[in-house]
Amino acid sequence: MDTSKLTLEECSGGSLEADHLCVLVHGLWGNPSHMLSVAQSLRAQYPRDKLHLLVAKRNSGSFTYDGIETGGERVCHEIEEELEEVKSKGGKITKISIVGYSLGGLVARYAIGLLFARGVLDKLECMNFTAFASPFLGVRSPHGRTLSRMYNALGARTLSVSGQQLFGVDKFRDTGKPLVAVLADPKSIFMSGLARFKRRTLYANVVNDRTAVYYTTSFSRTDPFTDLEGIKVNYVKGYEDVILDPVDPVTYLDHEEKTKAKHASKLRQSIGARVKKQLRKLGLFVVFTIMIPIGVTAYLINAAVQTIRSSRRVKLHEQGLAGINTENFRKLSLWKIKEIRDAVEDAYDELNNSSSNGSAQLEEEEDDDDDDLTAATRRRRGSRMFDNFQRKNSRGVSKEEQQTLALAPYQFEAIKALDSLGWNKYGVYIHNVRHSHAAIIERMKREDFAEGRPNGATVTRKRKRTSTTTTLASTTKPLKTEAGPSSSRRTRTTTTSDQDTDTTRRANPRKAARKTTNPSTGESIVSPPSDWEEIYRLIKEMRLSGPAANAAVDTMGCERLASPQASPRDRRFHTLVALMLSSQTKDTVNAEAMIRLKNELPPYEEGKPPGLNLENMLAVDPALLNQLIGKVGFHNNKTKYLKQAALLLRDNHNSDIPTTLEGLMSLPGVGPKMAHLCMGAENGWNKVTGIGVDVHVHRITNLWGWQSPPTKTPEETRLALESWLPRDKWKEINWLLVGFGQKVCLPVGRKCGDCELGLRGLCKSAERKKVLEGRRRVKVEVKEEVCLKKVEDEEADVKIESGDEGVKMEEEERKVVLKIEEEDIVMETTEVVDEEPVSVKKFEDDEEERKGVVKMEEGEDVVMNSTEVDIPVKESEDDKEEDKKMVVKKSEDVTDSSFIKKEEDDVKMES
């Protein structure tokens, strides 16, 4: 089932058979639709009879200003309502998992504490808590710069209660500490509730997240990603370019390596790129100079309005007038339950410590397999991944590189407490966007969010989705090796028919086209993508005889719409007009418009033929022309462009299309793509001047990762491709990729299961679910072919065996027939009418070989070659004459003329 088109309402809920409730909580300024991709991904993995989805709705939009406490109470109320509703309908929820994004992670943790204190979690099996880019330590900037101080001061005062709690300037109730610190207090109900979950997983953006930076989303004392040129990023094997190795995320480079890396980075940036970068900064400075005053004013006004509204909502909420009885939550103690629990666990631990070492080790190993580990045992285990990372990177690293961030004391305490629970921490490297906070869960459907797409076109997208969803229902422990982000992921790949996925995935990550320096000459050259030749070959095979064959461009492409009966000049004009009409128009619609122009465009004067040519285009009324091309996109503008271009062709180009690229691009409505295609078309000038890059070529090559960083416009893609693609393929690549984009790699609903690139793991943007379905289908087809081949081979063997027996039988039958015919001939040659048959031996042709003595005496036998012949003693003359004729007639095939002569002599002797 394709869940990518499901709405949020269609993903939510579940059947009465579902026993697992999964709650999704969005972030600040968010709404439930931000969790659509996560909901679609979960629904793709778990049907409605397995998983019940609840997307929190009460805390959306401006309601997120009301604070973590109020939001957590709303979410807790929604969860309890959902449980009661399922129960009233006859269902039963026995498991629970919670996913929080951004501020939603803190809201979810608060709700978990309330559920724990109210005894709700005692009735449920707590499975997974997953956080995406959630600021566990708040969002206070640890840097002492002026901008950082302004950011801390302004943010805390413009986001109402949520801002105060996120920046750590609030005093939660009577604790005297910020709410962020209370949430991480080891003795609080929030930590007790969080400890109930079997797995706790977080995903943190390592760069480009300006909302929740790495140190807070991964609660780390250091941020090794501030200087990317001084480190080497290590990825999880099989999840390269997106998921970082949790044990060893980075390797620090020594001074020499760092210098080489910086030098190589400078070499990769051409002078033109540097100039563009500086101009871009200058442009941004000018824009900011103008827009900042306006933007800041609008922001402050909106913040003041939202703060006032938020304070009113919070007041109504606390009074119980917002639909929630807050007394059920506010009367709960934040500490009492936990203190009693800790006292019992500490006494139990002291008793265990007094045992022998062997017994203690055995108990600890058994505790590791126990789902309900005590808090003390969890503290002993700690956050092993974080410690391993610190130990690994402490060797050979300078003090400056290991510098601890200037965090507040409560943040250091929170790090220690949270690490004691044990987490699966995964850094996420989003490359394609400058602000990765929204891309980590694909908060909206955008192509540049592909790396964070949970249910989308790339292997990396599905990797992250499987990291989230496969840990949802699995009961295995977190993975501690390089195999992948979760042990459940590995279990799935080794127990299903999809186990060939890892073998087909490329062992080495693809290298995009990149600038390198020729060591011998020192010249800067562009190296092509590492696997472009294999991709190109497979695309060509699919276009010629595979799923991408017989595309619309093959028969209705612009260069094929020229009338073959027209003159060369008119054919060139046909090609130009078709290209001008093709912009933002499907080939089928464009072909229909061209047919109308070629058939219905009136002649410029009486007696002249109608149809599409320059003279008729000049004379046609614009209203009629607009009507003839009315089905193409932007037909009003194209009508003007055609009329203006016709005048320019008549006045400046001798009533023909321009012979140069610049001349074509000087025509209105003609861009680089149309100009290059017109120059290279057979019905144009048939001169290859460049690559015609349309939306298909631009989109598909970026999906493959041929350009790094991804190009933003077709013209950038053209320049990038021409820098390394062999010139003999410049004309062909447009035809290949346009047809491929029309038949297989569609803009919406790509058929990755039919694409050889996806099936062979060559496309980094392939949608994993479709690829797996395609591989299963291919396996079934292969099995069917093998079975059919086996049946055919068996039938062939049977035919061969029966054929051999038939040949033998036919040979024997033929021998028998020949023998019978031979006997018949001999019998016929010796037959005597009205007398008994005579037995003779065939006479030989040579008279010298005949032996024997013939005695012609009455009453005696005739002996010929020692063969007895019974002949009547007396015969009439007529009988002998008739016998002579019969002998001659019947022995034509077996005797020659000499034999007949001898018979005549014998007859004479007898007479």
Nearest to 199 by CA among 425, 481, 462, 361: 425
Nearest to 203 by CA among 383, 425, 26: 425
Helical H runs in 686-767? 695-704, 714-722, 730-743, 756-759
Half-sphere exposure in the Cβ direction for 836 (13 Å, CA)? 5
**Angstrom distance (rounded) from CA 38 to CA 438:** 13
Mean pLDDT, each 10-residue run in order, the chain (911 residues):
81 92 93 91 90 92 90 93 92 95 95 92 94 93 78 84 91 89 92 93 91 91 81 81 84 68 56 63 68 77 86 84 79 61 46 38 36 41 45 44 76 92 91 85 78 46 37 36 36 35 45 73 80 92 92 90 91 94 91 93 89 93 93 92 94 92 92 92 91 93 88 91 92 93 90 92 88 86 70 65 56 59 51 42 45 42 40 49 52 48 53 47
Nearest to 67 by CA among 167, 209, 198: 167
Q: Judge whether 367 and 352 are in contact, CB under 8 Å.
A: no
Q: Which amino acid is at 369?
A: D
Name the phi and psi angles at 426, rounded to 5. Answer: -130, 120
The SS3 of residue 246 is coil
* Distance from the Cα of residue 528 to its chain's centroid: 22
The pLDDT, as a whole number, for residue 817 is: 53
How many Cβ atoms from other residues are within 10 Å of residue 613's Cβ? Answer: 25
Q: Judge whether 31 and 59 are in contact, CB under 8 Å.
A: no
What DSSP state is assigned to residue 202? E
**Angstrom distance (rounded) from CA 617 to CA 597:** 9
The pLDDT, as a whole number, for residue 247 is: 82
Nearest to 559 by CA among 547, 572, 570, 548: 572
**Angstrom distance (rounded) from CA 406 to CA 422:** 24
What DSSP state is assigned to residue 13? B
| Beta bridge pairs of residue 199 | 128
The pLDDT, as a whole number, for residue 509 is: 57
Tokens of 219: 């609660």
**Angstrom distance (rounded) from CA 8 to CA 226:** 37
| Beta bridge pairs of residue 204 | 427
Handedness of CA 187, 188, 189, 195 (dihedral sign): negative
Q: Judge whether 229 and 460 are in contact, CB under 8 Å.
A: no
Nearest to 741 by CA among 542, 583, 458, 592: 542
Q: Which amino acid is at 851?
A: K
By DSSP bridging, strand 231-233 and strand 95-101 are: unpaired
Question: What residues are labeled active site?
Answer: 673
Q: Judge whether 598 and 630 are in contact, CB under 8 Å.
A: no
**Angstrom distance (rounded) from CA 14 to CA 353:** 47
Q: Judge whether 261 and 230 are in contact, CB under 8 Å.
A: yes
**CA-to-CA dists, residue 696 to 272, 741, 747, 769, angstroms:** 28, 6, 8, 23
**Angstrom distance (rounded) from CA 55 to CA 306:** 24
Q: Which helix (H) or strand (E) holds 833?
A: none
Q: Judge whether 557 and 550 are in contact, CB under 8 Å.
A: no
Q: Judge whether 647 and 618 are in contact, CB under 8 Å.
A: yes
Tokens of 472: 């949802």
Q: Which residue has the tokens 């690229």?
A: 661
Half-sphere exposure in the Cβ direction for 8 (13 Å, CA)? 15
The pLDDT, as a whole number, for residue 228 is: 76
**Angstrom distance (rounded) from CA 151 to CA 159:** 12
The SS3 of residue 132 is strand
Q: Judge whether 108 and 189 are in contact, CB under 8 Å.
A: no
The pLDDT, as a whole number, for residue 569 is: 93
Tokens of 818: 């020949």
Q: Return the CA Rg of the chain.
A: 45
> Torsion-angle region of residue 29: left (phi > 0), alpha (psi -120 to 50) or beta?
left
The pLDDT, as a whole number, for residue 524 is: 75
**Angstrom distance (rounded) from CA 325 to CA 663:** 75
The pLDDT, as a whole number, for residue 769 is: 87
Half-sphere exposure in the Cβ direction for 602 (13 Å, CA)? 11
Nearest to 408 by CA among 102, 137, 164: 137
**Angstrom distance (rounded) from CA 230 to CA 224:** 9
Tokens of 184: 């991480």
* Distance from the Cα of residue 491 to its chain's centroid: 21
Residues in the chain: 911
**Angstrom distance (rounded) from CA 13 to CA 24:** 12
